[in-house]
Amino acid sequence: MKILASQDHQAPAEGDTRSVALANDVDALALALDGVERVDLHFPSFTDGRAFSQAFLLRRRRGFKGDIRATGDVLIDQLVQMQRTGFSSAVLREGVDAADAQRQFEMFPGFYQGDAVNHQPIFADKAATA
């Protein structure tokens, strides 16, 4: 997952059909995805978790292969959840230090449930190795 500082991110320009910015109350299942290479999802506050579901639906349900980007109130402590729900890039909130970010990805060797990236839950792995 790519981690960006705010100055390295440009919101989609007017008329840009390849990048789309989606408000977090919009139905991700209804979005037209033809020719779309990047979808910017939004966290108005990091405690508003609607974009996690939007990302999951775009990545897993619809099979979107392009960049799903987290914007808004993005902190390093939610990066792993973002990565697991299908985000492929994240624009850190102004002033947030990326230094501690990498460590977050190394905290857990595995998780119980399947997600947008690793579809199978851990018990499926057990069944596979049984």
Residues contributing to the site for another protein (CB under 8 A): 46-50, 52-53, 56, 60-61, 75, 77-78, 80-82, 84-85, 97, 100, 103, 107-115, 119-124, 126-127, 130
Write down the least CB distance from residue 68 to another protein, Å. Answer: 13
Write down the least CB distance from residue 118 to another protein, Å. Answer: 10
Write down the least CB distance from residue 4 to another protein, Å. Answer: 19
Cβ burial, residue 102 (10 Å; 0-12/13-18/19+): exposed
